[in-house]
C-alpha cells in the first residue's frame, strides 16, 4: 500500500493540522494549474518506504461530502491522552475522548480534521507504519474478503464479529498489522449499500505488473475503470479498478513509481 488519496477544501489549513496536530511531515507538494488542482503528500516517513496520504485540492472547491461509507484513518500513537490534549490545544475537534475500544482493551480516541475526515488514534506504541489503517464499510464482508485476497493478493489478518454491536470487521493487508498498513473492512448487519460521497478517492498499491494486476481484478469480479498503461506526461504505468462495493483502487508500477520519486 503506497498512499491513500482524498479531496480537501483548503490545502494549507489541512497541511497545518496534519503537521502540527498529527505529527506528520510534508513530503512534497505539486501544483498542476493546467488541470486545476494541487496535491500534497504527507506521512511519517519517506514515500518509498511508508504509507502516506495524498491530499487533492481542486481549484475553487472548498467542501466535499464524505458520505456514510468511509469510516476512518487509523494512527498508532504512544500516548492517546497526550495526543488528544495537543489536538485540543491547536483547536482540533475531538469526537471521542480517550478510553478503551468497545471491542477490546486498546485505548483509542477519535478526532476530525478540518474537512470532517475521522482519524482514530490507537495507543499501541511506536510502529514502523504509524498511519496504520483505512476503514471502509462494505455490504458483503465475505465477498469483499474473497476479492481482496484473490484480486489484490492481500492476506486476511483478522476477522471479528460483535453481535452485541451488530457489526463484523476484517483486516486485510500485505503483512502483520504491527508493521504494515491495513485495510479495515466493516460490515454493519443488514446494510448492503452506502453513500460514498465525493471526498474519499482511492488507495494506491504498488505492483510489479499493472497488466497482470488488471487481469486478476477482472477475473475475480472487479471492474477496470482505467485500462493498464502509461500515464500521459509522466509515463508511470497504472491501472484503476472498483471492488464489488464500488471502492476505487489504483495499481502503480513499482519501478515507475520509484523513478517518479527521484
- Binding residue ranges for Zn(2+): 54, 72, 120
Whether 120 is catalytic: yes
DSSP 213-251: HHHHHHHTT-EEEEEEEEPTTT--EEEEEE-TT--EEEE
Q: Which residue has the cell 476505487?
A: 248
Whether the CB-CB separation of 108 and 98 falls below 8 Å is answered with: yes
**Angle in degrees, CA 7, 256, 216, rounded to 5:** 80
User: What is the rounded distance in angstroms from the CA atom of residue 202 to the CA atom of residue 62?
Assistant: 19
* 47, 120, 177, 184: the active-site residue: 120
The total of other beta-carbon atoms located within 10 Å of residue 167's CB is 17
**Angle in degrees, CA 39, 42, 48, rounded to 5:** 100
The total of other beta-carbon atoms located within 10 Å of residue 59's CB is 11
Whether the CB-CB separation of 241 and 223 falls below 8 Å is answered with: yes
Which residues have C-beta within 8 Å of that of residue 83, sequence separation ≥ 6? Answer: 77, 109, 121
Residues designated catalytic = 120
Amino acid at each position: 500500500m503506497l498512499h491513500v488519496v482524498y479531496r480537501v477544501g483548503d490545502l494549507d489549513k489541512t497541511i497545518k493540522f496534519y503537521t502540527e496536530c498529527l505529527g506528520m511531515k510534508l513530503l512534497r507538494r505539486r501544483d498542476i494549474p493546467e488541470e486545476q488542482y494541487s496535491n500534497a503528500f504527507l506521512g511519517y516517513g519517506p514515500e518509498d518506504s511508508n504509507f502516506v496520504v495524498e491530499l487533492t485540492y481542486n481549484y475553487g472547491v472548498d467542501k466535499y461530502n464524505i458520505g456514510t461509507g468511509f469510516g476512518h484513518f487509523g494512527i498508532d500513537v504512544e500516548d492517546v491522552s497526550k495526543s488528544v490534549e495537543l489536538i485540543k490545544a491547536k483547536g482540533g475537534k475531538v469526537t471521542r475522548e480517550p478510553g478503551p475500544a468497545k471491542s477490546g482493551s486498546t485505548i483509542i480516541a477519535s478526532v476530525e480534521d478540518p474537512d470532517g475526515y475521522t482519524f482514530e488514534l490507537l495507543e499501541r506504541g511506536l510502529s514502523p507504519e504509524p498511519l496504520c489503517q483505512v476503514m471502509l464499510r462494505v455490504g458483503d464482508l465475505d465477498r469483499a474478503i474473497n476479492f481482496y485476497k484473490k484480486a489484490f493478493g492481500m492476506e486476511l489478518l483478522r476477522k471479528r464479529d460483535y453481535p452485541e454491536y451488530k457489526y463484523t470487521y476484517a483486516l486485510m493487508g500485505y503483512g502483520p498489522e504491527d508493521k504494515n498498513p491495513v485495510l479495515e473492512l466493516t460490515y454493519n448487519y443488514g446494510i448492503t449499500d452506502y453513500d460514498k460521497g465525493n471526498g474519499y478517492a482511492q488507495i494506491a498499491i504498488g505492483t510489479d505488473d499493472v497488466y497482470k494486476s488488471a487481469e486478476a481484478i477482472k477475473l475475480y469480479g472487479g471492474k477496470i475503470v482505467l485500462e493498464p498503461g502509461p500515464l500521459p506526461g509522466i509515463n508511470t504505468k497504472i491501472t484503476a479498478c472498483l471492488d464489488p462495493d464500488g471502492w476505487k483502487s489504483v495499481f502503480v508500477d513499482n519501478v515507475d513509481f520509484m523513478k517518479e520519486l527521484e
